Chain A
Amino acid sequence: MKVRLTSLLLGLLALFATPLAYADSLQLNMTRGVTDISQRVYNLHMLVFWICVVIGVIVFSVMFWSILRHRKSRGVTPAKFHDNVKVEIAWTVIPFLILVAMAVPATTTLLKMDDTSDSDMSVLITGSQWRWHYSYLDYDIEYMSNLATPREQIYGRLPRTENYLLEVDRPLVIPTGKKVRFLITSDDVIHSWWVPEFAVKKDANPGYINEAWTRVDQPGIYRGQCAELCGRDHAFMPVVVIAKDPEDFEAWARSEEQRLADRRAEEERLLAMEMSKEELMEMGQQVHMSYCAACHQPNGQGVPGVFPGLVGQGIAVNDKTAHIDVVWNGVSGSAMQSFRNTLTMREIAAVVTYQRNAWGNNTGDVVQAADVHNFSQGNQ
């Protein structure tokens, strides 16, 4: 039994010592985070943790003392007692009081977390398989945020870099010192938007809107992930939030509004411009790899029974307009989402062209942005 006791002590020691020893290289405890709420949550976590450790140490000490002393090999005679009302009442009442002591700070923290009043701005966060969409209700800004880690890193063909799986192409940007209200919903299955450093985790339920908020005081980059199983690429939809000083944020918001406006203008301007098939194929391949390959696979084969293949069958070789329709509108009641707000018309034209000509599909069809535009205007 000595072995057990020593291993337990060592285990307990390791439990407390290792976080200190490796604190900078290896995170073993909950993050303190960067908001008032996340600090409260961390403190509450540590409080409850230490209470549990003390309870555990007391109970296990008594038990191991008994195991060491009250063993037959020491020639003891067993006692006969089998109940004691006073003791039993004590160990019902004392734990109850400890629980009440934990419930008080827990309740106050929860009330603070649930108080979404007096917010300065609102961001609507929409989850879909497997990316986040951010829409600023007080600005003319909305965009998709996709995983930026290349497939080559995931499949080990390139070395993995520091923020592997925790990097996106367009992070959410929020101002520091302002109460930002998040409205969270989903387009398909349930997702969960989580940034540990804000202590914000809220499910994105399709058809319903959930609310959360944060107030970040330090500018910085904060990373999180989807926390609710949402299908095949659940591991590959990270959350990245950049907190900027209010002035920087305003500057960013103006430039972002300008960028989106420019993009729309550019799109209008380029509608009349024909791209060559080679250009379309090249751009289309990129779009396919970033947006379509997760389901339809890089080689277009899909996953049988789950995601339809695009090679030699289905939309990619049949009616061209139907193909544009599916990419533009999505397919209701399936994992196929609408890309009309995600991709530009040129990108949609390119990916449709690519899918209709790659992998031996060779339909010879060339789709131009103008075709997509015509489709979107109902002129089919």
Chain B
Amino acid sequence: MSTVVTDTHSAHDAHDHHDHKPTGIKRWLFTTNHKDIGTMYLWFSFLMFLVGGSMALMIRAELFQPGMQLVDPHFFNQMTTMHGVIMVFGAVMPAFVGLANWMIPLMIGAPDMALPRMNNWSFWILPFAFLILLSSFLMPGGAPAFGWTFYAPLSTTYSTDSTALFVFSMHIMGMSSIMGAINVIVTIMNMRAPGMTYMKMPLFVWTWFITAFLLIAVMPVLAGVVTMVLTDKYFGTFFFDAAGGGDPVLFQHLFWFFGHPEVYIMILPSFGIVSAIIPAFARKPLFGYASMVYATASIAGLSFLVWAHHMFTTGMPTFASLFFMYMTMLIAVPTGVKVFNWVTTMWRGAMTFETPMLFAIAFVVLFTIGGLSGIMLAITPVDYQYHDTYFVVAHFHYVLVSGAVFSIMAAAYYWLPKWSGVMYDDFLSKLHFWASLISVNILFFPMHFVGLAGMPRRIPDYALQFADINAIVSVGGFLFGFSQLIFLAVVVKAALKKGEPAPAKPWEGAEGLEWTVPSPAPYHTFDVPPQVK
């Protein structure tokens, strides 16, 4: 997250004739440069992270005590819905696309993404998608209030007209993701430097390559589902309405056919990031590179066969429950392989603990906790007790916040010197890490307890026995939320070039082509493809 260098002339070597770039607003509006677009994606996602985060704080403020104090239940439902949609589609996914834009060309020795103009498009339609979505707050009845999973018929017959805006913005986000995915695939297939074979690609490139195929496979299905919701609501179709022979459970099958691969879309690039950072600071090559690639591919493949584990309580025949339970448990195997590989990479290394490494280690621990509660959730008979409780909320926030978001933070610290040309403020970054680590656990760990004790999710008010833990959780929520402002400070400082100048390779053990170009990375890199041995 930084602005790209304004004065690149000092930093660059043989490419003067290329280093001409427009200035001012036009540079950002019309840019086709992968670094500029990556930067915009990252800033956009951080903005959305703050917007979605403030919604989470409103949720936590209402839940601080039993009783209705601050908001109306209907507004509370709007908050949970928009928090989910914004965090998934506005914060986590664009952050990964931003990282892909910045780093994939640098990592494979390409001068830019393969389709730079489409790249510009896929970014610039995103702000409009979210403007449309957020403008629904101004409608009578407010924003969508049916949860980010928009189960029919709550989202069709029983919703307000904001559903139409929700559907349109989902379509735009979907198009943006699909264009981004096409760009990543074409870039990786066609733009690799000579000698960069598939099995030499950094794992971040590999995980993104697989993620992009997942996006191509499931975003169109999401587009189909939201279209069906729209026609059910406005054009008299009966896809999900029993009155006309439809089935509301069909909606859930279609949604989760998209939704479960979507979960992996939000975690696979994290695996790539952590697989880059841990070897760099352990000063030891990644253990089991090939098995990492196969594990990623098998997780992606299995993700198409597990969707109904979100739906055990909808009333499935036993054979279906068993099938989805077994398949879901099976995912633990490749995921376990990854965790074991990371731990073994650390084993007998020579570790140092700079901020990116701290976040990566926290990722491994907390993601594993989220993964283990995932195994518990896979067991159908006990899932009847966990389903739709705070136990589930705790589980997916462990994998998405202390998983995906922590990995994005790790990536930001790891590559910030390359992006900005200066080292980040070490003290502030450590403060950010420790504040985040402690508060994220105060926030999400106790949620397991209230969930097990029987508190359903998505409720604005609760029975008295859940009061103490909810108070603790809310305190953790505010601490975590405000800790992220430290991150903002660190990034702004680096973007303003306040800090030690960074060398081309600021991390002793780092590997990869991105460290062969100067810091900050010049506007144009690898015009002459490097030779990879």
Contacts and interface: CB of A to CB of B under 8 A. Distances in A.
A52 B154 contact: no
Given A95-B332, A188-B157, A235-B456, 12 more contacts: A28-B452, A29-B452, A63-B346, A66-B343, A83-B287, A99-B333, A106-B382, A190-B248, A192-B387, A205-B315, A229-B458, A236-B73
A302 to B, nearest CB: 10
Contacts of B141: 303-306
Interface in A287-306: 303-306
A205 B343 contact: no
* Closest 5 pairs between A and B when the two form their complex, measured CB to CB: A207-B242, A305-B141, A305-B140, A235-B459, A210-B315
Interface in B351-382: 351-353, 361, 364-365, 368-369, 372-373, 375-376, 379-382
B247 interface: yes
A82 B282 contact: no
Interface stretch (B191-199, B222-230, B319-327): B319-327
B68 interface: yes
Nearest to A33: B385
B348 A99 contact: no
Interface string A195-215: 010011111011110110000
Contact of B340 (A91, A109, A196, A230): A91
A55 B157 CA distance: 46
A26 B465 contact: yes
A270 interface: no
Interface string B426-459: 0000000000000001000100010011101111
A196 B454 contact: yes
21 contacts: A1-B353, A30-B382, A41-B385, A44-B381, A52-B372, A52-B373, A56-B372, A62-B343, A63-B364, A71-B351, A78-B509, A83-B290, A92-B336, A110-B322, A188-B157, A192-B388, A225-B454, A227-B456, A229-B458, A231-B145, A305-B139
Given A155-B68, A207-B243, A30 B315 contact: no
Contacts of A199: 381, 384-385
Interface residues of B, number: 101
Main DSSP-derived SS at the A contact region: mixed
B301 interface: no
Contact of B142 (A129, A192, A305): A305
Interface of A: 1, 8, 11, 26-31, 40-41, 44-45, 48-49, 52, 55-56, 59-60, 62-63, 66-67, 70-73, 76-83, 87-88, 91-92, 95-96, 99, 102-103, 106-107, 109-111, 113-114, 129, 153-156, 160, 162-166, 188-190, 192, 194, 196, 199-203, 205-208, 210-211, 224-236, 303-306, 333-335
B153 interface: yes
A72 B146 CA distance: 52
A160 B337 contact: no
A80 B285 contact: yes
Given A199-B384, A203-B315, A227-B387, A164 B379 contact: no
B449 to A, nearest CB: 4
Contact of B330 (A40, A70, A99, A203): A99
A243 to B, nearest CB: 18
A208 B240 CA distance: 12
B461 A235 contact: yes
Q: Which of A26, A29, A229 has the most CB of B within 10 A?
A: A229
B74 A72 contact: no
Contacts of A155: 67-68
Nearest to A29: B452
Interface string B237-260: 000011100011100000000000
B475 interface: no
Nearest to A3: B434
A106 to B, nearest CB: 5
Contacts of A77: 350
A63 to B, nearest CB: 5
A306 B136 CA distance: 13
A107 B347 CA distance: 38
